[in-house]
Chains A and B, each alone.
Chain A
Amino acid sequence: ETGVTQSPTHLIKTRGQQVTLRCSSQSGHNTVSWYQQALGQGPQFIFQYYREEENGRGNFPPRFSGLQFPNYSSELNVNALELDDSALYLCASSLWGQGFYEQYFGPGTRLTVT
């Protein structure tokens, strides 16, 4: 177990609705990254948060937004859900610093948009 937790594990939403996904990072980690994994694809980077600020963003529209809290946990919010948003959403926590620090993934939230 990585110590990274996500909630909920599964979620079904209707097109046009809004959703909030949550992630608790591993103890001692200060950075959280979010990824979207569509069926049959590799994870795609959405954005990363460090010290409660967005620290890099992938090719996702503004309706994907996030937050990081003082305890380093994080939320991913998606507005105006589209069918193509159906995917596994993964968060990964790590330390920020020079060089590579391994990112530890949580078990993911499986979102279905109907």
Chain B
Amino acid sequence: RKEVEQDPGPFNVPEGATVAFNCTYSNSASQSFFWYRQDCRKEPKLLMSVYSSGNEDGRFTAQLNRASQYISLLIRDSKLSDSATYLCVVISGGGYNKLIFGAGTRLAVHP
């Protein structure tokens, strides 16, 4: 079983739609959680951190459920520029910042 699993996608949605991505992680000792965005043939970039209390950044909302070991990302009012692959990322400790990535979910927003 992979340490971080995501919906494989792709998600094809029209502009203005609301889309939700899910992610589960297997290590209950995981400490930190993030969503990264990766554009085609580019490097991953940090989109937002994820906290148990939930956090929001404009049209993006991230949630963490430690009991279920589940992470989500909600994108409201999708824009064409949101088209990318969204990577769920976990840090499981071990004394160093080893990022554990899911395989990513591809989002395509169309006019």
**Interfacial residues, chain A to chain B (CB-CB below 8 A):** 2, 31, 33, 35, 40-45, 48, 50, 55-56, 58, 90, 92, 94, 96, 100-103, 105-108
Contact = CB atoms under 8 A, between A and B. Distances in A.
A44 B97 contact: no
A99 to B, nearest CB: 8
Contacts of B32: 100
Interface string B78-103: 00000000010001001111111111
B85 to A, nearest CB: 9
Interface of B: 4, 32, 42-46, 49, 87, 91, 94-104
Nearest to A38: B103
A43 B98 contact: no
A29 B87 CA distance: 24
Contact of B100 (A45, A48, A50, A92): A45
B101 to A, nearest CB: 3
B13 to A, nearest CB: 21
A44 B104 CA distance: 12
A90 B44 contact: yes
Contacts of A33: 97-99
Given A40-B103, A42-B103, A56 B44 contact: no
Contact of B99 (A96, A103, A108): A103
A56 to B, nearest CB: 4
A14 B42 CA distance: 25
A41 B103 contact: yes
Nearest to B101: A42
A102 B46 contact: yes
Nearest to A41: B103
B43 A90 contact: yes
Nearest to A94: B97
Contact of B97 (A43, A103, A106, A108): A103
